[in-house]
Structure 1
Amino acid sequence: MNLIQIQKSDLIVGQSLPWDLFDQEHRPILKRGHVIKTTDELNKLEESPLFRKESAAKQAHSGKIGLNFESMQLKVGHKLQLKLSSPAKEISGETNNSFYRTTLIGYVQDITLIVSMPASNESFLEGDQILVRLFSGKCVYSFTAYVDKIIKIPFKYLHLSFPKYILGQTIRKSRRVKCNIPASVADNPIPLTITDISATGAEIKATSLLGEPGTTIMLSFAIQILDKEVPLSIKSTIRSVKQINENGQETSCFGIEFNELESSQTFSLRSFIYQEIVENPYHAI
């Protein structure tokens, strides 16, 4: 059964549910047709991630795939991200929305995953429910696990329960993510902001005209990949221009195509996009 996470805006007080609701472990919560009667009921539902079944047609269109553990092709040293998601801790306010970076040390099939202790090790306790996210190949994966055991000698690491249900999403080559990255153009003092980006282009906003379609520019900006800032200067072409009004101010939006990318630049852009999809899935376009 493939599930997709629903948005908070999909739930409305006084309206019946158009689908069955499930939690992260595929356990049913509410049946289709249930009416959310009060704001308190809605707020309680929104305390934990909610999912619904995805139609077969949409699965085929979106690239969702039925997954088992082998599908992820995990290897020792693979980078994972952990987020505390224990319902009891969420209700008490003990958790935050941070993902903690960790590394796969090894696994025993159907028994345990062994991962390094994240830097913020004081946040994890045995029995904690966590959300695990990673990307491998051209897919982003996520699953729920539990902290079965914390080992402290000779070094700190975690034993996680082996995943039972794995969700995966194929990342298209041109997948875009929302962002807010300051940028500049050579020989032009106009302040720019990149508002979405892919491995092949970007959308840029500016307070004045940067150029007409077909104009070639040298676009410079920096992206944050894990703890490292990566500066990029990319030869680009303006493909589209439109004017919009934001808060009473005229703003120019430019569709930019990246040209003559070096392999290292392509790798950095894709790494940034995958990272954003994993850490901030709602930024994906």
Structure 2
Amino acid sequence: MDPAAKDAENVNRLPLRSLGLKPGMAMQTRRIVEGASKKESQYFGAIEGKGVMVGPLGADGAKTELEEGEVCVVRGFTGQYEYSFLTKVLQTFEKPFAYALLSYPAQVDARLVRQSMRIQCSWPTKVIVPADGGTPGAQDATLIDLSTSGAMVKASTQVAALGTSVQLALSVMVDKAPQDLCLTAAICHNNRATNEEAYFVGLAFKSLTPQDKLVLSYLTQSPQT
């Protein structure tokens, strides 16, 4: 089967509230006009049946680059769902901060990508590359999201080639007690950051022990800071 057709089969029509959107989640907006480009935005909140508030990404964002009356498409990823919906710009505001009020969609197109929710975090960690995996040794990184099936780290290098098995080492608190984890994972994607010298490295866990699974389940249900 054609991959695009297979993906289309997996798309469901869902209410917006079922996506579990949280303030600060990144999304893209694009005006439905010729030559319009995608704009990086963030979700601020929504009032069901009334409107959806989105604004420019980053604390320094001053404009939404949307205009009242325009029709636009919104796309994003929640950590579980890839989603999109068509909407109309109802109003734009500059004070007390820049945001646009979009019409509330009756339903959104959503495709379940991951069975488990990922939590956002910012924890120091190390990625240990084996001797046969490229540049061996432990590389410092920052864990930026975590689920029971995988994680993403931000590192200064690509770490290793796609498919390479590495170990993710981090210290966490479980029920107020420190615990060290060393999880085996395969590198499943490797993307260069847009505005800095860094890489976002996706990891898929494998060969987890029952204890590893229990700890990951606890962490994703009781996120730490």
TM-score, with structure 1 as normaliser: 0.40
* Greater RCO (Cα-Cα under 8 Å, separation 6 or more): 2
Q: Which entry has the higher C-alpha Rg, 1 or 2?
A: 1
Q: Pick the structure with more helix per residue.
A: 1
TM-score, with structure 2 as normaliser: 0.48
